[in-house]
Amino acid sequence: MINRVNNINKAFFTTALLQWNKAENQRVMPWKNEKDPYKIWVSEIILQQTRVHQGLEYYNRFIKAFPTVQHITSATESQVFKLWEGLGYYSRCKNIIATARHITNELGGKFPENFNGLLQLKGVGDYTASAIASFAYNLPHAVLDGNVFRVLSRFFGIHTAIDNNNGKKIYSNIAGELLDKINPGIYNQAIMDFGATICKPKLPLCNICPLEKKCVAYIKKIVNDLPIKEKMINRKYRWLYYLLIEWNNKLYVRKRVSNDIWQNLNEFVLIETPVAVSPSALKASSAFTQIFDSADFKITSISKIYKQQLTHQTITGRFLKIMTKTKLNIKDHELIPISQLDLLPFPKFITTYLKD
């Protein structure tokens, strides 16, 4: 176990990394070399638990629609969530709205200019605070994301798990020792780019890696064994059956408000079951009959089976289009004109169906 960095390897690592960054790093992203803390903040929140190629389009759209933090504050929650639609992890969007309002209304529209101040913002943890502090203000705070964990674990041969408190402390100490204190922003971007393009999770490009000759994982042939995680994901399986109940060219829609997936997004009438059920069994269920009671209705179409993989959950379900001649009283639901559905934010599971 390594708690401190050997000075020789430390000097080699930082020097070689920065040389690679200057001579060979071709990774282009719109937020690189950005000094505006607002734009850095938006990019970092979007990239939390999102791959760069997916987040790039969202970032560009977000900045175009909301060029400043005040623009987010002036928008409705529905407008902001609509722009976030499909990106997932919607608590991030909720945090963006809350933080934008706090900065606009409580901080005079200005982002904090130090690490501790940034850390007080909702949705901002050590990594995001370090990124904003180093990129916007050139402050000496090392970032630790998945790319950095992987590079450090392999180069120094660290077998301590990256997802426990002891491991996080060890990696944080090492990252701080390696950091170029003069150009922390450049160094932080370099090590993240290096992990994304050279020291990749699968099929790393060891044959062109400038760190190869001193990389413990490469020398010991354990590259694919590192880094180590100790926590296993307990996956949950859910079956969702959505009823698109149409009355007078309107559909019944509600906003999800419970502390669950897709909070603050909209959905149609939902029947969730513990296991998969057939359409006939669904129609015969008490949940279904309670919705329609004695109403005159007709099921006009039943979709194919849709599936979405979330980090900890597998969502499977179908969509049933239903015409009713009777106006129904469905708790917490509103009748929304079909022509206005495009204005509402829905989870990807639903928008995938609507676009088919």
Cα gap 175→145, rounded to integer Å: 11
Residues 153, 199 contacting (CB under 8 angstroms)? no
Residues 107, 117 contacting (CB under 8 angstroms)? no
Partners of 318 in beta bridges: 241
Cα gap 309→330, rounded to integer Å: 29
Cα gap 211→199, rounded to integer Å: 10
The secondary element (H helix, E strand) that includes residue 77 is helix 77-84
Cβ count near 40 (within 10 Å): 22
Binning the chain into helix, strand and coil, the percentages to the nearest 5 are 45, 15, 40
Catalytic residues: 44
Q: How far is CA 112 from the centre of its chain?
A: 23
